[in-house]
Chains A and B, each alone.
Chain A
């Protein structure tokens, strides 16, 4: 299986084929509904967001809390289409990769292609399995959102399938 090192670059994305299974290694950000709404509201009102999105890959997930001594709890993907209303703004701000589950809207699909970005799906409901592929976890921003806070995860050989590029 093809191994991809993160952060992504447009050159890496060019080598990917839709339907291809890959293993991702490197840093990703997490964000789901509430964090997306806050990021985009801030960007649209010309505010400063607490993390840089440029060149990043966002994993749509809201993990369970880590047990003491563990890195993270169960951590599988959430349904991506709920982020569709926010993705265009993030793509415009340099977002390159997204990891989630399920189809995207027609509009977001064409924007991902236009911006030379990529959307991966991973295995929904396999949160226990996927948590074993996560080697680092720190909260970067929006701590008050709890599970919906923005985390920096370090993933290793994380299975994903190229869905849109």
Chain B
């Protein structure tokens, strides 16, 4: 048994929330630069230049990449041989509150979804935990903006539906999201499981580095087909046309029921932000 003090969790979560908000993921920045090189539409190129410059300014001036500093979604993989000293949930919450106060980030969370009074702390987050072998703890935070979250969709297909129908659905979701989700997008897709499992997979999918493909060859092919199809929409950066509608498509799958085929699409913007650490 290894003992982890909850203070370590608080400090790690604080540091990760600050890093995620200020330093654009390296893979995302690289994908933006690659897209800029390939883009031929001049307006799209100018917008990509500004987006890339934005990431550099954010890092240099310690300013948030985007003013929507998001709702925090945290993923904890907890080794089964760890004993945590203190209240783990409280530790995470404190880490987030400290980061949003000290980082001068926007507090975007309302306590009650209908009454809508701001909690002024950016709390609470959404927390997912998994128990895994070992004596380490993997802590990861996603900072999710809602311009893109609002364009995310889910649909329960018939088990007999062909893959082409799923592809049409994804393309439609991207088309309808237009420019309001801040393209170029990173599109996370969850297929299988239950309704909720598909949705959580679609969010986890955006944790995968842009440009990497699913290990299953038929899913990797699906990702490549979808990437091509959504870029053919020619929405382009901020909806101004060009071939850069998406930076990548990432699909995760899970076994499902004989009667079902759940599909969830989680749209993430060019400010796809997360950070993680193993303690």
- Which residues does A use to contact B, with CB under 8 Å? 21, 34, 61-67, 73-76, 78-81, 101-103, 121, 123-132, 146-147, 159, 161
Contacts and interface: CB of A to CB of B under 8 A. Distances in A.
B219 to A, nearest CB: 28
Given A74-B65, A121-B239, 18 more contacts: A61-B67, A64-B69, A76-B68, A79-B147, A79-B150, A101-B147, A103-B178, A103-B179, A124-B66, A125-B269, A126-B54, A128-B58, A128-B61, A129-B54, A131-B63, A146-B118, A146-B120, A147-B108
Contact of A124 (B57, B69, B120, B147): B147
Nearest to B47: A123
Interface of A, secondary structure class, is: loop
A34 B116 CA distance: 10
Interface residues of B, number: 41
Contacts of A67: 62, 104
Contacts of B147: 78-79, 101-102, 124
Contacts, number: 124
25 contacts: A62-B106, A62-B108, A64-B104, A64-B106, A65-B105, A74-B64, A75-B67, A76-B67, A79-B180, A81-B180, A101-B147, A101-B179, A121-B179, A123-B51, A124-B179, A124-B182, A124-B238, A125-B54, A128-B65, A128-B66, A129-B50, A132-B57, A146-B107, A159-B50, A161-B240
A116 B69 CA distance: 35
B105 A64 contact: yes
Contacts of B181: 102
Nearest to A81: B180
Instruction: For the complex of A and B, list the 4 residue pairs with the smallest distance between their C-beta atoms, beginning with the closest.
Output: A102-B180, A124-B182, A128-B58, A129-B54
A73 B180 contact: no
Interface of B: 43, 46-47, 50-51, 53-55, 57-58, 61-69, 104-108, 116, 118, 120, 145, 147, 150, 178-182, 238-240, 269-271
B37 to A, nearest CB: 19
Nearest to B184: A125
A121 B238 contact: yes
B106 A147 contact: yes
Contacts of A125: 51, 54, 65-66, 145, 182, 269-271
Given A132-B57, A147-B106, A64 B47 contact: no
Contacts of B62: 67
B96 to A, nearest CB: 15
